[in-house]
């Protein structure tokens, strides 16, 4: 006997093949790809450094706005993103990618923030309209401002 009797043969059909284990075709790396955020949150990349220089003011401002750092341990299964090393103190374990830190913000807070800035924009536009209309009444050289005015440019057509 050759010793092959010790090995039990199995049918090829009985073997299970995981279709997910097959080779995936190459595609370009998406540097700022993130997993879906937890329920009620939104993710955003925040600049931590620019050209090797830390931007502590930007990070501090974003934290005061309500953004929270995302730890690598918070990512769902199957997601592995680079994190800061232990030498970074309070940033240790935070998801990091080429000068950017992954942060999350409650959707409710984002809505309040957006409403605040929309109101500021509305007030600034009102002030501009009022100034221009008042100036137009005083001096006929001013053109009345119309925010809905449209213009078109043609090249060589008469």
Whether the model clears a pTM of 0.75, i.e. scores above it, the answer is no
| Amino acid 41: pLDDT | 92
Predicted pLDDT of residue 140: 59
Q: What pLDDT does 9 receive?
A: 61
What pLDDT is recorded for position 142?
57
CA distances for 103 relative to 3, 56, 68, 74, 148, angstroms: 61, 15, 5, 11, 38
- Tell me what pLDDT residue 56 has: 85
CA distance 107 to 101: 19
Q: What pLDDT score does 8 carry?
A: 59
- Please give the average pLDDT of every successive group of 10 residues along the chain, which has 158 residues: 57 55 78 84 88 85 89 78 69 81 90 90 82 59 62 68
In whole angstroms, what separates CA 45 from the centre of its chain?
5
**pLDDT tens digit sequence for 72-105:** 787 777 777 766 776 667 777 788 888 888 899 9
For every residue of the chain, DSSP letters joined together read: --SGGGSPP--GGGS---GGGSPPPP----TT--PPPPTTEEEEEEE-EETTEE-HHHHHHHHHHT-EEPBGGGSPTT----B--GGGGGGTTBBEETTEEEEEEEHHHHHHHHHHHHHHHHHHHHHHHHHHHHHHHH-TTSPPP-TT------SS--
């Amino acid at each position: 006997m050759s010793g092959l009797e010790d090995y039990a043969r199995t049918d090829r059909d009985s073997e299970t093949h995981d279709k997910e284990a097959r080779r995936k075709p190459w595609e370009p790396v998406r540097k700022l790809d993130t997993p879906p955020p937890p329920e009620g949150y939104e993710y955003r990349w925040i600049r931590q450094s620019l050209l090797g220089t830390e931007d502590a003011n930007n990070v501090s401002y974003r934290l005061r706005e309500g953004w929270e750092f995302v730890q690598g341990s918070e990512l769902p299964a199957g997601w592995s993103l680079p994190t800061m090393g232990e030498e970074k103190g309070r940033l240790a374990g935070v998801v990091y990618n080429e000068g950017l830190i992954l942060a999350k913000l409650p959707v409710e807070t984002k809505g309040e923030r957006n409403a605040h800035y929309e109101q500021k924009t509305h007030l600034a536009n009102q002030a501009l309209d009022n100034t221009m209309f008042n100036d137009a009444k005083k001096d006929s050289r001013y053109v009345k401002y119309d925010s809905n005015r449209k213009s078109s440019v043609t090249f060589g057509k008469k």
